[in-house]
C-alpha cells in the first residue's frame, strides 16, 4: 500500500472519491476567488471608508482609519467564504481549505480592529487565535471535541469549578466588551464634539455621561452574557459601599465634583484661573482632577473637590476681558502731563491691548522719591498670559521716555556730615 495513502487513512479521513476531488478543486478555486475579491474590496473601498471614519468617527492618530484597507480586505473575504460554506453541503475534505481561509481571514480582521482601537497585542492575538480555531473546527467537523478537552482542564474555585474553556470564554468576552466600549465612546465622543447646538462645556459633560452609561451597560451585558448570578454580588456591593464610605470617599467626591463643575459651568476648558498663587489655562476636566497648564509649561493636576471647596479666581468666567495693572514711577521734576500721555501711547500701541475699553492712567501716590502711576490696560485673551503684556508696554514706554527726556527716578539718600562740637 502507498505509505501516503496509509497515513491518510490513519488520520481518520476516508479516501477521497473522484467526486470529492472535484469538490475539493472547486473549493480551492472559490477560496482564491474570495481572497481576490477581498483584496479588490480593500483597495477600492479602503481609502474612502478610512477617510470617512477619520472625519466622522475618529481622529486619534494611528487608529482604525489607517487600517480600513486591511480590515475590509480580510472582512470581505471572510464574509464571502462564510456564504460559500453555508450555501452548499461540502464534504470534510472540501470544507478544509474553506474553513481554514475563513478562520484566518476573520482572525486577521479582528486583530486589525482590536489593534486599531488601541488594545494590547496579547488581547488582539488571543481573540484572533480563538476565532480561527472556532471557525476552522466548525467547518471541518465541529467544536465538540475541543470544548470537551478544554472543559476537563480546570480547578475548583469556591463552590464553582473554573475550566480552561470558561476562562478563555470570559477573557474573550471581556476583551470584546472593552473593545466595544472604546469604539462606542470614540464614535459618540466625536459626534458630540462636532454637535453645533452645544457649547464646549456641554459637549464635555455629554461625553462624560455617555462614557459612564456605556460602561454600565457593558457591565450588565457582560454579566448576562457570562451567565453570572447577580445575587452573588450582594456581598460585593456591601463591601463596595463600605469602601466608598472610607477608602474611596475622596475618589467618589472628586467624580461628583467634576460632574457638578461641568453642569454649573463655573470652570470650563479654556478658562484662565488662579488657584493659590498659580495662574493657568484649564486644559482638561477629568474624572478625578482638573488639568491647569501654566505659562511656564507646567501642568498642575488639581483635584476637582479642591475647586469646589476653595476660593478660585476665574479670569474668564462671565467675561474674557481682563484688566492688567502696570506700575510706573516718574520723577518730581518731569513734565507730568507729557509722561502720562506717553504712558497712554505705550499702552495703546501694544498689540494685545484693547481699544475698547480704552487704556487709562491713574496717579496713585506721591512717593518718597517718585510720582507713582498705574497704567490700566484691557486684554481679551488672558490665556496668552499677562506678564508679556506688561513687558511689552514697559519696553515701549522706556524708549518713549528716552526720546522725550523723562527720567525714571531711583531711590536716593542724602547724607549730611556735621562738624563735631567742642565741649
Reply yes or no on whether the pLDDT at 395 is more than 90.
Answer: yes
Could you give the CA distance from residue 355 to residue 414 in angstroms, rounded to a whole number?
44
CATH number at residue 384: 3.30.70.100
Please, what is the average pLDDT of the chain? 76
- Say if residue 365 is in the same domain as residue 291: no
> How much is the pLDDT for 338?
92
**pLDDT tens, residue by residue, 143-192:** 666 666 666 776 666 566 666 777 777 788 888 888 888 878 777 777 77
Could you give the CA distance from residue 377 to residue 19 in angstroms, rounded to a whole number?
93
- From residue 204, give the alpha-carbon distance in Å to each of 198, 273, 304, 316: 9, 18, 15, 18
- Say if residue 384 is in the same domain as residue 274: no
Residue 8 inside a domain? The answer is: no
- Say if residue 284 is in the same domain as residue 391: no
Reply yes or no on whether the pLDDT at 368 is more than 70.
Answer: yes
- Say if residue 376 is in the same domain as residue 300: no
Single pTM value for the model: 0.52
Reply yes or no on whether the pLDDT at 71 is more than 70.
Answer: yes
- Say if residue 127 is in the same domain as residue 99: yes
> How much is the pLDDT for 234?
59
Helix 68-87 and helix 92-116, axial crossing angle in degrees, nearest 10: 150
Residue 241 inside a domain? The answer is: no
- Say if residue 371 is in the same domain as residue 258: no
- Say if residue 297 is in the same domain as residue 360: no
> How much is the pLDDT for 4?
44
With cut-offs at 50, 70 and 90, classify the pLDDT of residue 375.
Answer: very high
> How much is the pLDDT for 373?
92
- Say if residue 136 is in the same domain as residue 26: yes
> How much is the pLDDT for 2?
47
Tell me if 326 sits within 8 A of 340, measured CB to CB: no
Domain stops at, among 285, 314, 343:
314
CATH number at residue 264: 2.30.30.60
Residue 101 inside a domain? The answer is: yes
Could you give the CA distance from residue 98 to residue 105 in angstroms, rounded to a whole number?
11
Reply yes or no on whether the pLDDT at 56 is more than 70.
Answer: no
> How much is the pLDDT for 7?
44
Q: Cell 455629554 sits at which residue?
A: 206
Residue 106 inside a domain? The answer is: yes
Domain stops at, among 122, 142, 162:
142
Domain enclosing residue 274, as ranges: 252-314
- Say if residue 352 is in the same domain as residue 303: no
- Say if residue 43 is in the same domain as residue 96: yes
Domain stops at, among 291, 314, 337:
314
Could you give the CA distance from residue 393 to residue 350 in angstroms, rounded to a whole number?
6
- From residue 113, give the alpha-carbon distance in Å to each of 64, 70, 99, 119, 406: 7, 9, 21, 9, 71
Q: Which of 307, 147, 293, 287 is nearest to 205 (CA)?
A: 287
Look at the chain and report how many structural domains it folds into: 3
In the three-class reduction of DSSP (H, G, I as helix; E, B as strand; rest coil), residue 284 is classed as strand
Residue 134: how many CB atoms within 10 A of its CB? 17
> How much is the pLDDT for 1?
47
Amino acid at each position: 500500500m502507498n505509505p501516503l495513502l496509509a497515513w491518510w487513512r490513519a488520520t481518520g479521513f476516508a479516501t477521497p472519491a473522484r467526486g470529492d476531488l472535484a469538490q475539493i478543486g472547486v473549493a480551492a478555486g472559490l477560496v482564491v476567488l474570495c481572497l481576490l475579491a477581498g483584496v479588490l474590496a480593500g483597495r477600492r473601498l479602503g481609502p474612502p471608508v478610512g477617510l470617512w471614519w477619520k472625519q466622522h468617527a475618529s481622529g486619534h492618530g494611528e487608529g482604525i482609519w489607517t487600517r480600513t484597507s486591511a480590515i475590509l480586505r480580510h472582512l470581505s473575504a471572510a464574509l464571502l467564504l462564510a456564504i460559500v460554506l453555508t450555501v452548499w453541503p461540502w464534504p470534510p475534505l472540501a470544507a478544509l481549505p474553506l474553513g481554514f481561509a475563513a478562520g484566518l481571514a476573520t482572525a486577521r480582521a479582528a486583530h486589525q480592529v482590536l489593534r486599531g482601537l488601541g488594545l494590547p497585542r496579547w488581547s488582539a492575538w488571543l481573540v484572533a487565535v480563538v476565532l480561527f480555531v472556532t471557525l476552522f473546527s466548525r467547518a471541518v467537523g465541529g467544536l465538540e471535541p475541543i470544548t470537551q478537552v478544554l472543559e476537563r482542564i480546570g480547578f475548583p474555585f469556591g463552590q464553582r469549578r473554573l475550566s480552561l474553556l470558561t476562562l478563555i470564554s470570559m477573557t474573550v468576552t471581556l476583551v470584546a466588551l472593552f473593545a466595544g466600549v472604546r469604539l462606542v465612546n470614540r464614535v459618540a465622543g466625536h459626534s458630540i464634539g462636532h454637535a453645533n447646538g452645544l457649547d464646549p462645556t456641554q459637549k464635555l459633560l455629554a461625553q462624560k455621561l455617555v462614557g459612564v452609561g456605556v460602561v454600565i451597560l457593558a457591565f450588565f451585558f457582560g454579566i448576562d452574557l457570562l451567565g453570572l448570578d447577580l445575587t452573588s454580588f450582594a456581598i460585593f456591593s456591601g463591601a463596595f459601599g463600605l469602601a466608598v464610605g472610607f477608602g474611596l470617599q475622596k475618589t467618589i467626591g472628586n467624580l461628583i465634583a467634576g460632574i457638578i463643575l461641568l453642569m454649573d459651568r463655573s470652570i470650563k476648558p479654556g478658562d484662565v484661573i488662579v488657584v493659590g498663587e498659580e495662574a493657568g489655562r484649564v486644559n482638561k476636566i477629568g474624572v478625578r482632577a482638573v488639568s491647569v497648564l501654566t505659562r511656564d509649561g507646567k501642568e498642575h493636576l488639581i483635584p476637582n473637590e479642591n475647586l469646589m471647596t476653595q476660593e478660585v479666581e476665574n479670569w474668564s468666567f462671565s467675561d474674557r476681558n481682563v484688566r492688567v495693572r502696570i506700575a510706573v514711577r516718574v520723577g518730581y521734576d518731569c513734565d507730568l502731563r507729557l509722561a502720562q500721555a506717553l504712558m497712554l501711547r505705550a499702552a495703546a500701541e501694544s498689540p494685545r491691548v484693547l481699544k475698547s475699553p480704552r487704556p487709562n492712567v491713574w496717579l496713585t501716590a506721591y512717593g518718597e522719591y517718585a510720582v507713582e502711576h498705574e497704567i490700566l490696560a484691557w486684554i481679551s485673551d488672558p490665556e496668552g498670559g499677562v506678564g508679556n503684556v506688561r513687558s511689552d508696554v514697559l519696553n515701549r514706554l522706556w524708549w518713549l521716555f528716552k526720546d522725550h527726556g523723562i527720567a525714571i527716578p531711583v531711590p536716593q539718600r542724602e547724607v549730611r556730615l556735621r562738624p563735631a562740637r567742642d565741649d
